[in-house]
Amino acid sequence: MTQTSQRPRTAESAAAVVTEFFDRYRAHDVDGMTDLCSMNAGLHYVPVEIWGKQRVLRGDGKVRTIGKPLWTGLIASFPNLSNTVHSITSNDDGDVVVQADIEGTQQLAWGLITPAGKHYREPHLFVFHVGPDLLIDDITGYWNDAGISQQLGHNEVD
């Protein structure tokens, strides 16, 4: 009979996975961040919406198809991108809620914002779900994109 030595999912072990996720984000290890997520992990970055003439593109999809390109692009535009985790709370069902500041200095264009060497620091709230296999299977993020735009010197809403 196959036996597994994997740690059980508890509030503490789920929080540890998410703590490691932010450590890897701080180290710009996007592959390592993705490795902490299940193959089909969902990603919902609520503020991300780009209004076109006939459709709206949203930051709503999968970690591997939406999250990874977003994180990679963000790090390219803000080479000193970093995060400060202020609180992590979790439960035995694998829910993990994180308050963190994300900050960086812009060196390349980000969306419609041209680089002016300005720095931003913005509070974020993330809701993670960690599965029984201790892999992240869902990430939802909330923040104020207007705050980021204004700090970077971009005053147009769109």
Partner 1 sequence: MTTPTQTVETFLDAFARRDVDAAMAVVDSRVAVTVHPFGLDNRGAEALRTVLADLVRAFPDLMIAVSRVITTRDVVTALFKAEGTQSAGYAGAINQEKHLDIDQAWRFVVTDGLITAVDAYWCQAQLYRRLAVKRYDEIAIA
Do 26 and 122 contact (CB within 8 A), yes or no?
A: no
Please say which residue, 37 or 96, places its beta carbon nearer to partner 1.
96
Q: Which two tokens stand for residue 3?
A: 């036996």
Please say which residue, 115 or 123, places its beta carbon nearer to partner 1.
123
What is each CA distance from 43 to 1, 37, 60, 127, 137, in whole angstroms?
36, 10, 6, 10, 9
**Shortest Cβ distance from residue 27 to partner 1 (Å)?**
25
**Shortest Cβ distance from residue 110 to partner 1 (Å)?**
13
Please say which residue, 12 or 35, places its beta carbon nearer to partner 1.
12
Please say which residue, 29 or 60, places its beta carbon nearer to partner 1.
60
**Shortest Cβ distance from residue 155 to partner 1 (Å)?**
5
Report CA torsion sign: 124, 128, 134, 137: negative
Please say which residue, 35 or 93, places its beta carbon nearer to partner 1.
93
**Shortest Cβ distance from residue 150 to partner 1 (Å)?**
5
How many of the other CB atoms lie within 10 Å of CB of 93? 11
Question: The sheet that has 37-51: what strands, in order across it?
Answer: 56-62, 37-51, 136-143, 119-130, 95-105, 82-90
Contact residues toward partner 1 (CB under 8 A) are: 11, 46-47, 49, 51, 87, 89-91, 95-97, 99, 123-125, 127, 140, 142-147, 149-150, 155-158
**Shortest Cβ distance from residue 148 to partner 1 (Å)?**
9
How many of the other CB atoms lie within 10 Å of CB of 101? 15
Distance CA 60, CA 48 (A): 8
